[in-house]
Structure 1
Amino acid sequence: MEWILVTLASLLAGFVDAIVGGGGLILVPALFAVFPTTHPATLFGINKSASVWGTAFAARQFSRRVEIDWRSLLPAAAAGFTGGFAGAWAVTVLPSEFLRKLLPIVLLCVLFYTLVRKDLGRDHAPTLTGRAQTLAACGIGLVLGFYDGFFGPGTGSFFVFLFVRVLGYDFLNASAAAKLLNTATNLAALILFALKGHVWWQYAAALAVANVLGSLLGTHLALKHGASFVRGVFILVVSALILKTGYDAFLR
């Protein structure tokens, strides 16, 4: 029964993650519910062992249909990998309670800004070029990479929002870029958790296959329906993240 529950959660998480990020909202709580006495780092490690495959397949699918600025995003992915590794190490030795309290407030600001700016992410019009774009993308990758390794919920959604707001991407291109960087941050965190012995490999294969299947379906829908569809899903996912993280931070 445990296998079935977490595998279904991984399938749905891959679907949501492929469109706009936020799959951790589904899989991580499912893992905590099914394995309540397990060390959090181990549950995060299981999550990464599945999500890294889903984001990687989504990045590959997006790259076939969306033009990706590899000169800016590959260095940003490397920065994300570095941040993710550092963040995953930090979560094994430092408390993350302050982020638990701060996260719903930050997400509420993101949602409010997105709703007020009706044209946000509608058109793909990068505001930076060359070295400036690379530096900005690397900064986003490094900071969110650390956050992903250290805490994690909503990382993909934060990537999408910052690529839209800071770099002027539309939601579809931002989602494509987010998948590349999120793959790097997931991989870094997975390596660290594996080195620390915080991955249950007996679950990894089944969860990875389910996550990839969900990812392929989500990517197909995002590419078929475009930026407006991704924006709508982004608003729904961020709203759900606010409710879930707010409950965890202040009501539990």
Structure 2
Amino acid sequence: MEIPVITFELIAILFAIAILAGLLDTLAGGGGLITIPALILSGVGPLTALGTNKLQGSMGTATATYIMLRSKRVKWRKVRSLMLIAFLTAGLGSLAVQFIDSAMLSYIIPVVISFIGVYFLLSPPPSQDIEKSDKSKRYYKKIAVPAIGFYDGFFGPGTGSFFTLAGVSLKGGDIINATAVAKTLNFATNAASLIVFLLAGKIAWLIGLAMMLGQAIGAWLGCHCLFNINPKLLRVLIVVMCFAMLIKYSYEMNWLAF
């Protein structure tokens, strides 16, 4: 397991990055494409970076989920079965990544991120009065949630945006409530993945614990902004985050080199 030399400066930088990631992830998703490159660039090995990211990310989504359920923004009876599905499929994804070269995702991730950005950029704003068909809702529960759960366990960045997109396009309703539900599902996937990575011993503990605190602060700030933010602004933020992640990812992969 590759872990860099721990310095105060390194911990401080990753702590600040975790605050930013927790804030943006709560509002628009995509925090993992900030934290995972930061961990890898700091010298953490790829699998350990994924495991440590699950450790710190679990705190952010746990904080958001607790606030959503306590404030009744999300009802437990409506999400518990979805959370169980997300938990189980994410566990399978995390088991799979222990044996499969995750480099195969390097071409899939930018395509999916681009799709999310284009969808939110071009699609008409969803209305609370639009009710999706029962068939569409079944697709959400039986296909979308398991697929996104497996993806999060296998790699993860952008999962919050994926859950939000699925909620808006398949269940109907407004983007803010879809984002709130996405936080609870993302917590379930993070928790399952964390268990697998803990058993595999792929955690950089000191770095992860410092980033957990940062994630909690960022998620707390994000939750208190979410229900006061203009839905149109949230759509813009999701689009900006998607294309910013795409550019950053492409840069990290040296696809922008000429």
Which has the higher mean CA deviation after the structures are superposed, 151-160 or 58-67? 58-67
TM score, norm. by length of structure 2: 0.88
Structure 1 residues 124 and 87 mapped into 2: Cα distance closer, same or farther (>3 Å)? farther
- What's the CA shift for 1:40? 1.1
Once the two structures are superposed, what CA deviation does each residue of 1:92-127 show, in whole Å capped at 9, x if it has no partner?
A: 1101223210221222222222222132x3536441
TM score, norm. by length of structure 1: 0.90
Is residue 177 of structure 2 the alignment partner of residue 168 of structure 1? no
Is the 1:79–1:139 contact (alpha carbons within 8 Å) kept by the matching residues of 2? no
One-letter amino acid matched to 2:20: L
Is the 1:24–1:154 contact (alpha carbons within 8 Å) kept by the matching residues of 2? yes
Is the 1:84–1:189 contact (alpha carbons within 8 Å) kept by the matching residues of 2? yes
- What's the CA shift for 1:89? 1.1
Once the two structures are superposed, what CA deviation does each residue of 1:108-157 show, in whole Å capped at 9, x if it has no partner?
A: 222222222132x353644146x973662343221111101111111111
Secondary structure at the counterpart of residue 171 of structure 2:
coil
- What's the CA shift for 1:198? 0.4
Of 65, 75, 80, which aligns to 2:81?
A: 75
Give unpaired runs (5+ residues) of structure 2. Answer: 1-8
Of 194, 197, 208, which aligns to 1:190?
A: 194
Taking the aligned partners of 1:108 and 1:202, their CA distance within structure 2 comes to 34
Q: How many residues align?
A: 248
- What's the CA shift for 1:238? 0.9
Identity among equivalent positions (%) equals: 32
Structure 1 residues 227 and 205 mapped into 2: Cα distance closer, same or farther (>3 Å)? same
Taking the aligned partners of 2:207 and 2:37, their CA distance within structure 1 comes to 16
Taking the aligned partners of 2:208 and 2:111, their CA distance within structure 1 comes to 33
- What's the CA shift for 1:41? 1.2
Is residue 18 of structure 2 the alignment partner of residue 10 of structure 1? yes
Give unpaired runs (5+ residues) of structure 1. Answer: none
Is the 1:28–1:43 contact (alpha carbons within 8 Å) kept by the matching residues of 2? yes
Taking the aligned partners of 1:194 and 1:122, their CA distance within structure 2 comes to 42
Of 57, 73, 90, which aligns to 2:96?
A: 90
- What's the CA shift for 1:244? 2.2
Structure 1 match to 2:250: 246
The alignment yields a C-alpha RMSD, in angstroms, of 2.1
Once the two structures are superposed, what CA deviation does each residue of 1:31-78 show, in whole Å capped at 9, x if it has no partner?
A: 11111xx33111111111111111111122233446435444211111
Is residue 212 of structure 2 the alignment partner of residue 208 of structure 1? yes
Is residue 119 of structure 2 the alignment partner of residue 109 of structure 1? no
Taking the aligned partners of 1:161 and 1:136, their CA distance within structure 2 comes to 10
One-letter amino acid matched to 2:92: A
- What's the CA shift for 1:86? 0.9
Q: How does 1:10-159 map to 2 (within 5 A)?
A: 10-35=18-43, 38-65=44-71, 67-119=73-125, 121-123=126-128, 125-128=130-133, 133=137, 136-159=140-163
Is the 1:65–1:223 contact (alpha carbons within 8 Å) kept by the matching residues of 2? no
